[in-house]
């Protein structure tokens, strides 16, 4: 099954842009990855899914246009433009693998985004 | 409004059991798979398991860390999915979320219920 790796922290100034990275383990370069936002004290919120061709399907409810994704090689990126205070959150990436009783859903360790 | 509401969390001793519930509303529950995901304090998300719909024979799958101890079931007449947790360990302490998968990702999440395993 894939392993997803995320840097533990990132920071950006109000109004700036930031790109968060989720790296798939080798041999899984074709996998799609989901991004989830988790504000402090809240449950996760679906942002969008990304494959090698970019976004897959639709964004989650209420996700602003400032959020975009890109996929390249083993990396799946989430870019946030014009960062706002409400974007300060933990961001998790996840991917499913296998089928039937061997199905698993794996998550990265999450990246804590601090808005300066 | 599409909504998931978890309940049943609490304090339990190591080796004990607990059953969580997740009540769904606002969508066709019977046609949807359902997943459980947990999060220990200060840690990332960990997938626990999933149950598919009746059309897919209520097939289940579990993370290796809980296989043989946890069981997911559902009661479509009550729009509810359950997580039966047995032989609980201190490392099972976490907030437990239920979530619904869509074609695009897990698009609906509950608010979570807290399970604490401690003597």
B45, B46, B105: residue with CB nearest A49? B105
Q: What is the structure's pLDDT at B104?
A: 84
Q: How far is B14 from chain A (nearest CA, A)?
A: 26
Q: What is the structure's pLDDT at B85?
A: 98
Q: How far is A108 from chain B (nearest CA, A)?
A: 7
Q: Which residue has the tokens 């009661």?
A: B75
Q: Which of B61, B48, B51 is nearest to B31 (CA)?
A: B51
Q: Which of A86, A88, A106, A87 is nearest to A96 (CA)?
A: A106
Would you put residue A27 in left (φ > 0), alpha (ψ -120 to 50) or beta? left
Tokens of B77: 């007449």
Q: How far apart are CA B23 and CA A38, in angstroms?
A: 21
Q: Do A102 and B35 touch (CB under 8 A)?
A: no
Q: Which of B37, B46, B29, B11 is nearest to B98 (CA)?
A: B37
Of all residues in chain B, the one with the smallest CA distance to A40 is: B42
pLDDT, tens digit, for every residue of B75-111? Answer: 999 999 999 999 999 999 999 999 999 888 899 999 9
Q: How far apart are CA B19 and CA B8, in angstroms?
A: 6
Residue A9 sits at the chain B interface (C-beta within 8 Å): no
Cα B82 to Cα B1, B30, B49, B72, B73, distances in angstroms: 21, 14, 11, 6, 5
Tokens of A89: 């959150």
Q: What is the structure's pLDDT at A100?
A: 87
Residue B63 sits at the chain A interface (C-beta within 8 Å): yes
Q: How far apart are CA B32 and CA B15, in angstroms?
A: 32
pLDDT, tens digit, for every residue of B7-66? Answer: 999 999 999 999 999 999 999 999 999 999 999 999 999 999 999 999 999 999 999 999
Tokens of A46: 């679906």
pLDDT, tens digit, for every residue of A66-113? Answer: 999 999 999 999 999 999 999 999 999 999 999 988 999 999 999 999
Mean pLDDT of chain A: 96
Q: Do A105 and B47 touch (CB under 8 A)?
A: yes
Contacts of B71 in chain A (CB under 8 A): none
Q: How far apart are CA A38 and CA A109, in angstroms?
A: 13
What average pLDDT does the segment A42-52 reach? 95
The dihedrals phi and psi of A87, each to the nearest 5 degrees, come to -80, -10
């Amino acid at each position: 099954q894939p392993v997803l790796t995320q840097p533990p922290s990132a920071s950006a100034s109000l109004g700036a842009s930031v790109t968060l990275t989720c790296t798939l383990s080798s041999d899984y370069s074709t996998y799609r990855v989901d991004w989830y936002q988790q504000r402090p004290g809240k449950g996760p919120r679906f942002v969008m899914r990304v494959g090698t061709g970019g976004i897959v399907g639709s964004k989650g409810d209420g996700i602003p246009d400032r959020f975009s994704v890109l996929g390249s090689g083993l990396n799946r990126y989430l870019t946030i433009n014009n960062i706002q205070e409400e974007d300060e959150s933990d961001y998790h990436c996840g991917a499913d693998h296998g089928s039937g009783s061997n199905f698993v859903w794996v998550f990265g360790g999450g990246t804590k985004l601090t808005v300066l | 409004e599409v909504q998931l509401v978890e309940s049943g969390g609490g304090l339990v001793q190591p080796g004990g059991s607990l059953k969580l519930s997740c009540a769904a509303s606002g969508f066709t529950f019977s046609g949807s798979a359902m997943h459980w995901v947990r999060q220990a304090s200060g840690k990332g998300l960990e997938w626990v398991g999933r149950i598919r719909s009746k059309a897919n024979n209520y097939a289940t799958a579990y993370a290796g860390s809980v296989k043989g101890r946890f069981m997911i079931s559902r009661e479509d007449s009550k729009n509810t999915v359950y997580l039966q947790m047995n032989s609980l360990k201190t490392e099972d302490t976490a907030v437990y979320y239920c979530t619904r998968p869509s074609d695009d990702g897990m698009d609906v999440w509950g608010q979570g219920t807290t399970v604490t395993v401690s003597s």
